[in-house]
Amino acid sequence: MAESPPIEPRDPGAPFPPGALDPDLVKLPRSRPRVGVITALGLCGLSVMFLLRLAPDRRFAGASDQAAPAAVADILAGKVPTEQLITVAGEPLVSQSIRAMKNPGNLGLRVVPVRGTGDRLWLVVPGDGWQPPQVTGTTGRLRRLDDLAFAEAVRRYAAAHPRPVFATAAAVHAGLATGRVDTVSGDQVVLTSGDVVALDAIDPDASTIAAAFTERLPDTAAWTRALTAAGLPPTATSAADPALGQVRFTVAAPAAAAAAKLDAAKLWGARPEPVTRHYQTTWSELRAQPAGALVLGGKSLPDGQIELLGLYASRGIPDGAYAVVTGEVPDDYWYVLPITLALVAIFLVFAWAMVGAIRRDLLPARAA
């Protein structure tokens, strides 16, 4: 095997051939990286921003684990501090709840207004509906509604989708001049021209008779003759239902009067039911009607016939609203303190680095 030629020692100071590396230069120590003013300032700013963002959670983490009772009036008056665990006795208006979903397919949360607060107090409850009922009040974390991550989405939905409220005929009469109507929930709504007003009322001049087929009255024709003989001639007839073995007739008589005539004629296989009519109009059309009358759908309805009117008024959530977030307790936020200490340490380190960078890069050098 041939031996490799011996490597002759290189003469110090001799030039290196093209493409060769000087080992002495390759082994030179690199200078330590320096933190610039902009980098240090940016990290200090981020630390301060996260410290401010964590301030509400930090206050709640240091609050008492025992829920303090709070009155609705005191919360709305600002007498109850936020970021505390409280129990409030307020009736939720579940029919007006707004669902806030984190992502599609997730039930998310339900944001529910409290009765009589004018949408200034809301309850944030789980969206699955499997939580135990709150029979003695709702316990949760008191917060400003605008501090919640989904507050803007809830505000947009509330302003774009009218939520039905209900008022008596007397309250509607009182609000025709001003457009402000007191609802049965204790709130007051402001109606505009295009808002819908609707109600379902029992027709006093009609009823529906459900008639069962029997051996004596086996078909629709036999029942028609029997009802006519009893003084209840049908004004409309539905198709017979073979599965139920019955047919329905509409007659021009109230349910009570129809029942009396059926009993007198010994038509035991029939029962009368009241007829409910749906009436709908707009607030501008209702205000244009003569005083003392509520005309809906072209028909004047007496107040005695109206139980409640449905008002579909578009209204946004007022500023300064509060929310009670259920399912949160101070112990859930144990991690906030370690994160706060870490952020403070990062701020101090890069604040010192920023001072050094300012002295090094921005201040004039002093003569030795």
Q: What is the pLDDT of residues 216-273, one digit of tens each?
A: 899 999 999 999 999 999 999 998 888 889 999 999 999 999 999 999 999 989 999 9
Task: Flag the least confident range among 12-21, 108-117, 164-173.
Answer: 12-21
Residues 6+ apart with CB under 8 A from 242: none
pTM over 0.85: no
pLDDT at 278: 87
**DSSP label at 179?**
S
- Reference 307, options 205, 173, 199; nearest CA is 199
Q: Which residues pair with 270 in a beta bridge?
A: 211
Q: In 10 A of CB 110, how many CB atoms?
A: 19
Residues 6+ apart with CB under 8 A from 361: 36, 37
Residues 6+ apart with CB under 8 A from 59: 83
Cα torsion through 59, 348, 53, 74, rounded to 10: 30
Query: Does residue 170 sit in helix, strand or coil?
Result: helix
> What is the DSSP track for 204-227?
EEEEEEEEE--SSS-SHHHHHHHH
pLDDT at 124: 92
